[in-house]
Homo-oligomer: A and B are copies of this chain.
Amino acid sequence: MHTVRIQDRPFSYGTESDSFAAAAGPAGAVVTFLGRVRDDGGRLSVMEIEHYPGMTERAVTAILDEAVTRWDLTAGLVIHRHGRIAPGEAIMMVATAARHRAEAFAAAEFLMDYLKSRAPFWKKEFGPDGAEWVAARDADEQALDRW
């Protein structure tokens, strides 16, 4: 059960988490991560996420396959939205299931680190002061070194 979904429509964290856990079989440990648009005290009115159709699915699938193999996951899930997303709304989630918690946690963090810097998504923030592309952080690139 390795699933990648790139979509513009919203998703329900709870519903997806439950479906994932149910489909993950007898795994003892399930980790889910939810990334949301922060409000930042009204500085942000909406976020727009551009992506590279075709490459996105391919890149995310490759990252998920790598995680599944490295940590022997019984299941893995990535959902990532594109398009316009309001503050407080979900941007993306990952879920991992493994026999033990250490593997499930490591795989989820690996997925997040790679999705941040190796999946072709670009965030643009729209606020009262205009629009700006989110800059990649050095820390995000450096986070890959630990894997």
In the assembled complex, the Cα of A31 lies from the Cα of B31 at a distance in Å of 7
Complex: how many Å from CA A35 to CA B30? 7
Interface centre among A14, A15, A19, A105 (most CB of B within 10 A): A14
A27 in contact (CB, < 8 A): yes
B31 touches A36 (CB 8 A): no
Taking a contact as CB atoms under 8 Å apart, the answer to whether B26 and A18 are in contact is no
Is A21 an interface position by the 8 A CB rule?
Answer: yes
CA distance A144 to B38 in the complex (A): 32
Greatest chain B CB density within 10 A among A28, A34, A99 is at A34
Chain A interface category by residue count: 20 to 34
Chain A positions 81 through 113: 1 when the CB is less than 8 Å from some CB of chain B, otherwise 0: 000000110000000000101001100110010
Instruction: Verify B29–A35 contact, CB threshold 8 A.
Output: yes
Asked if B28 and A18 make an inter-chain contact with CB atoms under 8 angstroms apart, the answer reads no
Q: A14-B14, A14-B19, A27-B36 are in contact. List 11 more A-B contacts (CB 8 A).
A: A13-B17, A14-B16, A14-B21, A26-B39, A28-B35, A29-B33, A31-B32, A31-B34, A31-B108, A32-B34, A35-B101
